[in-house]
Structures are given as C-alpha cells and as structure tokens.
Amino acid sequence: MPTLFLHFFLFLFTTTVTNLIPVVHSNYIEAQQQSLLHFKKSLDVTHSNPTKLITWNSSTDCCSWLGVTCSTNGRVVGLDLSGEHFSNRNIDNSSSLFQLQHLQSLNLAYNNFLGSSIPSAIEKLANLRYLNLSEAFFFWANSH
C-alpha cells in the first residue's frame, strides 16, 4: 500500500514539474523580449538610420532579431548594436539591459551615450565576457 502511494505522489510530482518547466521557460523568453523592447524604446534614433534595431518588434521572436544572439535554449547571450548610431542620455542602473542575466557578449560601439557614466548595475551581468564600448562616448570615471 505505501509503495502505491509513493508511486502516486511520484507520478503527481513528475507530471506537475514537467508541465511547469515550459511555462517558466516561456515566461523567461517573454521577459527578455520585453527587456530588449524596453531598451530599444530608450534609444533615440532620430538622427541615425539603424539597420538592426528596425528588426526589433514584438511580432517576431527576439532570437531572430538582427544583433541578438541566443543560446540553443533561447537565452539571449549576445547583443551587438555596434554602429547603429543611436543616442542615449539616460542609461542608468535601472536599464532593462541589465536584466539580461545570460548575456556573455555586449557590443555598443559606435553609438552615442553622450558622456553618461557606465552604470554600476553592469556588474549584474555576471556572465559577461566581452564588452565593447569603443567610440560609445561613455564617461570613464577615474575611481582608481
């Protein structure tokens, strides 16, 4: 009798967990898409002619957008927005960019951050291995 119960609970547990995983997964995919769209909204492209950002819209999966690289399980691991010539004065610790926890590579070269400081929230990107801020007009605070 107790083994029957155990099997029943195991069955219940495994079906619940396997049903839950795709939900958690798709919530994450949805959240990172929103983070990217939110970041795009903060960029001023009035004096530029972006070639990658124009493909960023909510009707397609963000993994198919130009400049976005995803892992096989749909995590955004790379962002290359170099040469889009956007400007952004207001990047701060609350930027949705810093919610992309799986980001390994970030290239913002050849854009104009108009002398903003690099937000310390960039430290939240614990997996970041490549960061390119060439000609991005960040202000480098001399803290050392």
Ligand X SMILES: *[C@@H]1O[C@H](CO)[C@@H](O)[C@H](O)[C@H]1NC(C)=O
Q: Is 101 in the site for ligand X (CB under 6 A)?
A: no
Options 2-10, 35-43, 54-62, 95-103: segment touching ligand X (CB under 6 A): 54-62
- Least distance in angstroms from the C-beta of 31 to ligand X: 20
Which of 51, 90, 120, 127: binder of ligand X (CB under 6 A)? 120
Q: Report the residue number, 15 or 117, with the smaller CB distance to ligand X.
A: 117
- Distance of CA 13 to CAs 7, 8, 20, 125, Å? 10, 9, 10, 33
Q: Which residues of 107-136 are buried (b: 16+ CB within 10 A; e: fewer)?
A: bbbbbbbeebeebeebeebeeeeeeebeeb
Cα–Cα dist 25/5, whole Å: 30
Question: In this chain, which of 37, 109, 114, 128 binds ligand X, going by CB under 6 A?
Answer: 109
Tell me how far apart the alpha carbons of residues 92 and 122 are, in angstroms, rounded to a whole number. Answer: 9
Closer to ligand X by Cβ: residue 11 or 130: 130
Binding positions for ligand X, rule: CB under 6 A: 55, 57, 59-60, 82, 92-93, 107, 109, 117, 119-120, 132, 134
